[in-house]
Chain A
Amino acid sequence: MSIIAEMLSYPFLVRAFVGGIFVSLCASLLGVSLVLKRYSMIGDGLSHVSFGALSIAVALGWSPLAVSIPVVVLAAFFLLRITENGKLKSDAAIAMISASALAIGIIITSLTTGMTTDVSSYMFGSILAMSPWDVRLSLILSVIVLGLFVFCYHKLFAVTFDESFARATGVRVDFYHGMIAILTAVTIVLGMRMMGAMLISSLIIFPALTSMRVFKSFRGVILSSGAVSVICFTIGMVMSYTCSTPAGASVVVVNLICFLLFAAWQAVGRIRG
């Protein structure tokens, strides 16, 4: 506890904590839907696209968020579309788009500014990245995501579990897909600066997978994902502070440990059951 109190005496760490907790909460809730619909790769694809957009913004001297958010939202819709159409093999298509966006980003950066600290911190994350404006934006994002999950919970369940049935009963499936795509895009752009383009997708995937080891109901998985995500983030931050490890990587490692613990719990349950 005293370590946390000490950490909170630095304003930039307060921002990292508050912004990070909001972002991990959003990522984990959206992640449940994405993982269950087999769209996990979209998170990974979007983070790379976001990196590409960011390098262009930095090169042109524009505001990084103002460029990345619209570009990544567009990419999210595009990725959802190719996943649904199934014309291109979607996993291959996403891998192709990720690599291309990353390559374009790297070329533009090396041609203009060179690999500045700015861009490399976007790759692997920086605890200093959260500005007061980012924290405000992540608060707004969380309110919207939580609102969606509370008030449209049953519709989200129906859309996630069985799209055809939901469509036939008159749920506007495309609207919910669109909402999830936009919110995921914003979550990734916000979280990427702290977690890093290479690591942000773990915030989306890990909590859902971890919770699915143990919980058998959709409600259980959702609640557990939110909790797991926030707890892992906090532990990761403390670890990063005490051991001087990079923040993003620490959070991912804590998530991995948590996943292994839940998997062990599941294994023990099976042996007993």
Chain B
Amino acid sequence: MNGLITCEHVDFGYENHDAVIDVTMEILPGDYLCIVGENGSGKSTLMKGILGLLKPTAGTMTVSEELRRTGIGYLPQQTAAQKDFPATVYEVVQSGCLSRRGLRPFYTKAEKELTLECMEKLGITPLRKHCYRELSGGQQQRVLIARALCATSQLLLLDEPITGLDPSAIQEVYGILRKLNREEGVTILMVSHDISNVVNQVNKILHLQQRVLFYGSAGEYKASDIGKRFLGGEEE
């Protein structure tokens, strides 16, 4: 099976400082991978590299033909400005179709149908005319996931998807992601701090501290020394 994205000894960085060094990993179709690490460990830099916003300073990164055509469904961290943004759920989800459009100024019928379909998948059809800023945190994440799905159903890339959510909304988001991964076959890559929850959700972990400290299945991670240390508390 060919990987969607393959990194071989890749460095990423800004100007003369490499924030990420020597990453070798492969994202296979159907993977549910989480990148963990402390603040400043280079998680966001690696994310930008995978998105193609940064060029590798060393090594090679290969993106599969399929993925290059559809692009990546990206879910960035929410910004403060979005919290009171006047936009309907439909408008936000539809903006995910943008990458399919090139220079055409308006959306086609097929794209409008895709928008409706993605909203249906995330169970937000009844909210379509609601204002984004009036939704709960969990609902907002549903909207943003639907938007990312409009861009592609191949690979979703989520940057700290649970930041600022309350516990029930966190479980809601994990539930959605698990369902998308298992039932729809969507490959998911996320960056998260929430290690204690994440190990029970995903099937692969990449622990980053400028270099790769651990890369393997979630089960192995729990058993490893670094995993035990990072998971902390009760294991000692």
Min CB distance, B43 to chain A, in Å? 15
Interface string of A134-164 (1 = CB under 8 A from B): 0000000000000000111111011001111
Contact between chains at A155 and B86 (CB < 8 Å): no
Chain A residues positioned under 8 Å from B98 (CB to CB)? 154-155, 158, 166, 169, 171
A72-80, A125-133, A209-217: which lies at the B interface? A209-217
Q: How extensive is the interface on chain B, given as a class? A: 35 or more
Q: Give A246 Cβ to nearest chain B Cβ, in Å.
A: 32
How many Å from the CB of A218 to the closest CB on chain B? Answer: 4
Q: Nearest B residue to A171 by beta-carbon distance?
A: B98
Main secondary structure of the interface of B (DSSP, over half): mixed
Does the CB pair B81–A169 fall under 8 Å? no
Check if B74 is an interface residue, CB within 8 A of chain A: yes
- Asked whether A157 and B85 contact (CB < 8 A) given A152-B105, A169-B74, A170-B71, the answer is no
Given the known interface contacts A38-B81, A220-B86, the answer about A158 and B95 at a Cβ–Cβ threshold of 8 Å is yes
B86 near A165 with CB under 8 A, answer no
Q: Is A264 located at the chain interface by the 8 A CB criterion?
A: no
Check A216/B105 contact, CB under 8 A, given A154-B98, A168-B76: no
| Cross-chain contact A217 with B99 (CB below 8 angstroms) | no
Q: Are B151 and A217 in contact (CB under 8 A)?
A: no
Question: Which chain A residues lie closer than 8 Å to B94 at the CB level?
Answer: 154
Instruction: Tell me which residues across on chain B come within 8 A of A161, comparing CB atoms.
Output: 82, 85, 87, 92, 95
Knowing A150-B105, A168-B74, A168-B76 are in contact, say whether A37-B86 is a contact too (CB < 8 A): no
CB closest residue in chain A, given B76? A164
Contacts of A215 in B (CB 8 A): 86
Size class of A's contact patch?
20 to 34
CB of B105 within 8 A of CB of A153, answer yes
Closest to A214 in B: B86
Cβ of B53 under 8 Å from chain A? yes
Residue of A nearest to B84 (CB): A212
Given the interface pairs A170-B99, A218-B86, the reply to whether A154 lies near B147 with Cβ below 8 Å is: no
Contact for B74 among A157, A165, A219, CB less than 8 A: A165
- A158–B148 CA distance with the chains assembled, in angstroms: 12
Contact A157 B99 (CB under 8 A): no
> Which of B53, B86, B95, B107 lies at the interface centre, i.e. has the most chain A CB atoms within 10 A of its CB?
B86
Q: Are A154 and B105 in contact (CB under 8 A)?
A: yes
Closest to B87 in A: A218
Contact A169 B151 (CB under 8 A): yes
Is A221 among interface residues, defined by CB-CB distance under 8 A? Answer: yes
A259 to B81, CA, bound (A): 21
Whether a CB of chain B sits under 8 angstroms from the CB of A81 is no
Most B C-beta atoms less than 10 A away, residue of A168, A215, A216? A168
A88 in the interface (beta carbon within 8 A): no
- How far is A152 from B79 in the complex, measured between Cα atoms in Å? 23
Given contacts A154-B98, A171-B98, whether A162 and B105 have CB atoms under 8 Å apart is: no
Minimal beta-carbon separation of A196 from chain B (angstroms): 29
Contacts from B to A (Cβ < 8 Å): 51-53, 71-72, 74-77, 79-82, 84-88, 91-92, 94-96, 98-99, 101, 105-107, 129-131, 134, 147-148, 151, 157
Interchain residue pairs A-B with the least CB separation, the first 4: A164-B76, A216-B131, A169-B99, A168-B74
Task: Name A residues whose Cβ lies closer than 8 Å to a Cβ of B.
Answer: 36-38, 150-155, 157-158, 161-171, 211-212, 215-221
- 15 residue pairs A–B, Cβ–Cβ below 8 Å: A36-B85, A154-B105, A161-B95, A162-B95, A164-B76, A165-B95, A165-B148, A167-B53, A168-B51, A168-B72, A169-B98, A216-B86, A216-B134, A218-B85, A218-B91
